[in-house]
């Protein structure tokens, strides 16, 4: 059995991949998934919204009882959902650029830090830092030169002034050749603003997890229990030694195009790895424990308030799916049940989002 570190849970195969020297076995895997795509009943609307997939309502097992999971994923309980539309891919840089151009919207990372808001998340009496440290910016992954303790994220994350969705790694970086990549460096507020503009909303945690499975249930990953079936990489994750040596065996060192790996059984891309995705729900460490006491729950919505015993002052929302930085020695969060609570005002180089739309 794989031994994890003591780090806290932080909670169509594309030609691009094959061009990077991966085996044609990945293509075979894609064809298999395409052949087993789950059929859906016709939705109430006559025409599908552009770029969205209909998820037929049903009942599923929310969470996991797997002892190799994290405590905030347990225990299991049954949930019943109505049908809904969901974006086929995460929102891309191209889509977010259209939103920003049409609305003039400025993301959280493009605005100066509000000290009055920030200090609410800090212990009482925390002195105000120098104004130079309150400039617009966001978190950028910066791999250390060698092995570091895995219980201190500061060893590989750097607050970077000027890091925004337009310049994900900070000044000098660009999305010019990455318009088909998931937009990153967006806070929960940014994601919610986009969803409202698009006439949609962010998915609940239950909707996201149900869709991520692609019709499967009970397997560790949406494609089965083996991470690399027949040696094939199914998703974009960290390969090598985390966090200092990414061997790029899966074809990518960082975020990949949204269609670079096979879709799941519902035809949805990036429902594991590449980037975490924001959901609508406030994060509670004990969410599954509370829901399990209620029997079968229909269409669960966000808890009334957030709860994270490791940081009780901070308002957090649930992110799902893991990212290109996930590794079995650290978090292995590319599993459908994995979940993390993230501060709503925090953007980073590995968190994006997709939207849903209920049936009319």
The string of pLDDT tens digits covering residues 126-171 is 888 887 778 899 999 999 999 999 999 999 999 999 999 999 999 9
Give the closest residue to 317 by CA, choosing from 191, 220, 172, 232.
191
- Distance in angstroms (rounded) separating the CA atoms of residues 16 and 36: 23
Residue 267 near residue 216, CB atoms below 8 Å:
no
> Which pLDDT band, with edges at 50, 70 and 90, does 26 fall under?
very low
- Domain extent, residue 91, equals 15-35+52-122+131-358
Which pLDDT belongs to residue 41? Answer: 55
- Distance in angstroms (rounded) separating the CA atoms of residues 314 and 345: 10
148: tokens are 């570091």
Looking at residue 37, what DSSP letter applies?
A: P
What's the burial of 293, exposed, middle or buried (CB within 10 Å: 0-12/13-18/19+)?
exposed
Residue 185 near residue 191, CB atoms below 8 Å:
no
Tally of CB atoms within 10 A around 6: 7
Looking at residue 110, what DSSP letter applies?
A: G
Task: Please indicate, yes or no, if residue 6 is contained in any of the structural domains.
Answer: no
Q: What would the mean pLDDT of 57-72 be, rounded to a whole number?
A: 97
- Give residue 74's Cα distance to chain centre: 19
pLDDT at 118 exceeding the cut of 90: no
Which pLDDT belongs to residue 46? Answer: 59
Q: DSSP 3-state assignment of 160?
A: strand
Task: Please indicate, yes or no, if residue 234 is contained in any of the structural domains.
Answer: yes
User: Could you read off the pLDDT of 166-225 as tens digits, one per residue?
Assistant: 999 999 999 999 999 999 999 999 999 999 999 999 999 999 999 999 999 999 999 999
Which pLDDT belongs to residue 313? Answer: 87
What's the burial of 251, exposed, middle or buried (CB within 10 Å: 0-12/13-18/19+)?
buried
pLDDT at 20 exceeding the cut of 70: no
Which pLDDT belongs to residue 126? Answer: 87
Residue 291 near residue 300, CB atoms below 8 Å:
yes
Mean pLDDT of the chain: 88
- Number of structural domains the chain divides into: 1
Which pLDDT belongs to residue 112? Answer: 84
Task: Please indicate, yes or no, if residue 160 is contained in any of the structural domains.
Answer: yes
User: Could you read off the pLDDT of 295-343 as tens digits, one per residue?
Assistant: 999 999 999 999 999 988 899 999 999 999 999 999 999 999 999 999 9
- Give residue 81's Cα distance to chain centre: 21
> Which pLDDT band, with edges at 50, 70 and 90, does 35 fall under?
very low
pLDDT at 7 exceeding the cut of 90: no
Task: Please indicate, yes or no, if residue 222 is contained in any of the structural domains.
Answer: yes
Which pLDDT belongs to residue 36? Answer: 39
Looking at residue 107, what DSSP letter applies?
A: -
Task: Please indicate, yes or no, if residue 92 is contained in any of the structural domains.
Answer: yes
Task: Please indicate, yes or no, if residue 297 is contained in any of the structural domains.
Answer: yes
Task: State the CATH number of the domain containing residue 60.
Answer: 3.90.1580.10
Give the closest residue to 209 by CA, choosing from 79, 352, 28.
79
Task: Please indicate, yes or no, if residue 85 is contained in any of the structural domains.
Answer: yes
Task: Please indicate, yes or no, if residue 26 is contained in any of the structural domains.
Answer: yes
Residue 164 near residue 348, CB atoms below 8 Å:
no
Q: What is the helix, strand, coil percentage profile of the chain, to 5?
A: 20, 20, 60
């Amino acid at each position: 059995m794989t031994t994890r570190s003591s780090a806290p849970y932080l909670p169509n195969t594309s030609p691009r991949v094959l061009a990077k020297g991966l085996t044609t076995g990945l293509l075979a895997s894609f064809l298999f998934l395409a052949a087993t795509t789950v059929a859906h009943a016709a939705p109430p609307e006559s025409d599908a919204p552009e770029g969205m997939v209909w998820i037929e309502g049903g009942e599923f097992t929310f969470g996991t009882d797997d002892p190799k999971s994290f405590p905030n994923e347990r225990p299991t309980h049954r949930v019943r959902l109505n049908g809904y539309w969901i974006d086929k891919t995460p929102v891309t840089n191209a889509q977010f650029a259209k939103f920003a151009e049409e609305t003039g919207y400025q993301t959280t990372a493009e605005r100066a830090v509000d000290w009055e808001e920030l200090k609410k998340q800090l212990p009482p009496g925390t002195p105000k830092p120098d104004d130079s440290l309150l400039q617009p910016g966001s978190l950028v992954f910066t791999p250390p030169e060698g092995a570091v303790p895995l219980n201190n994220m500061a060893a590989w994350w750097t607050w970077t002034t000027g890091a925004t969705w337009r310049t994900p790694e900070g000044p000098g970086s660009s999305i010019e050749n990455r318009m088909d990549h998931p937009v990153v460096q967006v806070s929960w507020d940014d994601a919610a603003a986009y969803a409202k503009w698009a006439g949609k909303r962010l998915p609940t945690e239950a909707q996201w997890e149900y869709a991520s499975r692609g019709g499967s249930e009970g397997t560790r990953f949406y494609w089965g229990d083996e991470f690399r079936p027949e040696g094939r990489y199914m998703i974009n994750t960290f390969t090598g030694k985390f966090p200092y040596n990414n061997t790029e065996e899966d074809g990518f060192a960082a975020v990949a195009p949204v269609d670079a790996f096979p879709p799941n059984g519902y035809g949805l891309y990036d429902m594991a790895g590449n980037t975490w995705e924001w959901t609508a729900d406030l994060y509670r460490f004990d969410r599954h424990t509370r829901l399990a006491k209620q029997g079968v729950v229909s269409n669960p919505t966000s808890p009334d308030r957030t709860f994270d015993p490791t940081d009780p002052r901070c308002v957090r929302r649930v992110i799902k799916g893991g990212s290109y930085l996930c590794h079995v020695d650290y978090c292995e969060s590319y599993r459908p049940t994995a979940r993390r609570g993230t501060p709503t005002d925090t953007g980073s180089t590995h968190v994006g989002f997709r939207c849903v739309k209920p049936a009319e």
